[in-house]
Chains A and B, each alone.
Chain A
Amino acid sequence: MSTLEIRDLRVSIDAKEILNGIDLTVKAGEVHAIMGPNGSGKSTLSLTIMGHPRYTVLGGSVLLDGEDLLSIPVDQRARRGMFLAFQYPAAIPGVSVASFLRTAINARRVKESGEKNDLPIPQFRALLKEKMKLLEVDDSFLTRSVNDGFSGGEKKRLEMLQMHMFQPTFAVLDETDSGLDIDALKVVAEGIEALHKESAKTGILLITHYERILKYVRPDYVHVLVDGRIVRTGGSELAAELESKGYEFVREELYAGQR
């Protein structure tokens, strides 16, 4: 069973320390929600796990089944089974969704030796159609340029479609729920459930500001991230508590002893 292990992770951006020692272990098939106010370090955590060059790792480690991820570039992390659903997915003018997905699928199938192992087109088509149906993605998506002129909701749907196409071992969802109306939210939530429960046993790190999505996706663990540290961990009831009491409550509780 696969394990993603984050140990004492400390990260800075522009010489400012954002994460001051994160410890977190996610196992295959588990859903971990990470909740926190704006500026708590949520996006830093997700982008660092994936290897964004803007962030400097000051210390600690991120291990996938014991293998160090921090020393390899982003594309290799992806090919090892990591996936990040972006909060702000980038637009790629002139590249259709269909050809992007096909290029990505084939890039992930290249063997260690460098030998190509392209997925034959009929199989690719069948896989794509199946996932599109599951996520209620319209056919017109395929010929449009990736995220170019997409609404916020469409972008998030495309992130989910990619996640389902790639079947990652671990997926980090960076505020995938923000900017979605309730119907889209349900589709995304069902997509998450389907992926981690049934097919791929994907371990999920669901990073969110709001408790709303947790009505549809039931996390195994909820972690509260404040000022670059996980200050509380609990079950799904913790999300409800945060919703009623707010993040200030946690912060006050956290710093009470220091005053």
Chain B
Amino acid sequence: MASATALAPLAQLPLDRTTVERLGHTRGEPDWLLADRLASLERYAATPLPTGQEEEWRRFPLADLPQADFSAPAAEAPSEYGSVPLGASRNGVVFSKWIDAVREHPDLVRAHLPDGSGMESHAAFRALNGATYGHGSTFLHVPSGVSVELPLYVHKRWTASARPIAFRTVVVAEPGSSVTLVEEVSSEAGPAPRLAIPGLEVSLGAGANVRFVRIQRFSEDVWDIGYQRYRSGRDSEIGSFNVLVGSGRSKVGVESVILGDGAVVKLNGLVAAGARQRIDVNSLQVVDGKASTSDLLYLSALYESAKAIFYGVIRVEPTSSGTGSYQECRNMLLSDHAGADPIPVLEILTNDVARCGHGATAGALDDELLFYIRSRGLDRRTAEQLLVRGFFQRVINGIPDVQVRARVLEALVPRIGRVAELEAQVA
């Protein structure tokens, strides 16, 4: 039965059972994990890739989707993991490469395997990720009641290679736990376009508190078709920060599902794009429970011929009561050729809502403001950097840790330089 038959309708992304089995064996995976990969492969076979007719995919042409040869040997590339603070590891925190976690904590990993469900728009790519994830995958588990005070860091780098980048990050915060994870991803530019499918699953138990920061600095040859899924238990709080500066094409699906009362969800994004980058985010905020809140804030600074598309849905479930939700998407256009297309959709399926709304804008720099700043001696470039830095401040302010903030600012240096970085030392 192992054959080379292409299972997907788009000929660009063939994937067969042999390839998946070989990957599982190479990584020394136990049977239950290989079975999970093969279940994903079946889902992939049954899920057509987007045709471009779907609302979420209309503005993201897939015709040029890069070839993805999953049978090519995985590139040897380093992932750097920051150390887990001693106290935290004594308390049973697991933070390691997926492959190590499977070997050392098989039951824990097995109990928290993603079940493959999630937003429909990314179903095919999620299934593809589930069958092919490899280098760069991470497992983080924080036991009940454990607070990891210092942020955890991981930097994943890919060398130039023909093989697609497919990895998953699974974060499990048990009830009453607290953790901050900073994940930086980057790649070396290769000769031909290549596909990346980063998968993220974050689940928060009752009262858990998680901050997740993703800094995406892929090279321009990369198409980033990632998905992220946040599941929030009662009284939990998630703060998510997506810093998107890399990749030539991005189509990221961000999904948040509230599963209990009093959950707080904050989804933030900073996009700084130029050249011919096309950054397309589609979000789904599922709002449920009593008095839960879900707020999204994405800010984009677009240079040169960059385009940002944002298609976001808020769905307030009929079973919810007194919830608050908002979707805010602001775009600053720094060139006449840059463009933004924010599209908000609200589905409110109950009358019992405390608040629900959206705000979207796209605009060029204000000439009067630019003149004022330049009249203080700043040349146009520095004035622009300062304005973008100020524009981003609302999201940067929400990043809880000074050093994490510094990392985010470092990733933005190509766009905003080092303008206004020293304010904490001045005031």
Contact = CB atoms under 8 A, between A and B. Distances in A.
B369 A92 contact: yes
Contacts of A107: 376-379, 382
Contacts of A143: 423, 427
A140 to B, nearest CB: 10
Interface stretch (A95-103, A236-244, A245-253): A95-103
A86 B372 contact: yes
A94 interface: yes
Contacts of A93: 390-391, 393
Interface stretch (A35-43, A74-82, A183-191, A211-219): A74-82
B373 to A, nearest CB: 7
B33 to A, nearest CB: 46
Contacts of B371: 52-53, 74, 90
B358 interface: no
A145 B390 contact: yes
Contact of A98 (B372, B375, B376, B423): B423
B392 A104 contact: no
B367 A53 contact: yes
Contacts of A90: 366, 368-369, 371-373
Interface string B386-412: 110111111000000000000000000
A99 B379 CA distance: 16
A154 B289 CA distance: 45
Most buried by A among B373, B376, B377, B383: B377
A103 B393 contact: no
Chain A: interface size category: 35 or more
Nearest to A124: B426
A73 interface: yes
B386 A100 contact: yes
Nearest to B382: A107
Most buried by B among A50, A86, A90: A90
B380 interface: yes
A227 to B, nearest CB: 26
A212 to B, nearest CB: 26
Contacts of B380: 73, 75
A103 B426 contact: no
Interface in A49-106: 50, 52-53, 73-75, 77-79, 83-84, 86, 89-96, 98-100, 102-104
A63 to B, nearest CB: 19
A91 B393 CA distance: 14
A79 B422 CA distance: 22
B381 to A, nearest CB: 10
Contact of B377 (A79, A96, A121, A145): A79
Contacts of A52: 371
A206 to B, nearest CB: 18
A102 B420 contact: yes
Given A100-B386, A121-B425, A73 B374 contact: yes
Contact of B376 (A53, A94, A99, A162): A162
A174 B349 CA distance: 55
Nearest to A79: B377
A166 interface: yes
B419 interface: yes
Interface string A157-193: 0000010001000000000000000000000000000
A101 B426 CA distance: 10
A96 B375 contact: no
A63 B242 CA distance: 51
A166 B377 contact: yes
A166 B376 CA distance: 8
A108 interface: yes
A99 B120 CA distance: 45
Contact of B420 (A74, A84, A95): A95
B422 A102 contact: yes
Nearest to A96: B423
Contacts of A83: 375
Contact of B419 (A86, A103, A108, A142): A103
Nearest to A82: B375
A232 interface: no
Nearest to A83: B375
Nearest to A95: B390
Closest 4 CB pairs of A and B: A94-B393, A94-B390, A99-B420, A99-B423
28 contacts: A74-B371, A75-B375, A75-B380, A78-B374, A78-B377, A90-B366, A90-B372, A92-B373, A92-B390, A93-B391, A94-B391, A94-B392, A94-B393, A95-B393, A96-B420, A96-B423, A98-B423, A99-B419, A99-B420, A100-B376, A100-B420, A102-B420, A107-B378, A121-B422, A143-B423, A145-B390, A145-B393, A162-B376
Given A73-B380, A94-B394, A103-B378, 7 more contacts: A50-B375, A75-B380, A90-B372, A92-B369, A92-B373, A104-B378, A107-B376
Interface of B: 366-369, 371-380, 382-383, 386-387, 389-394, 419-423, 425-427
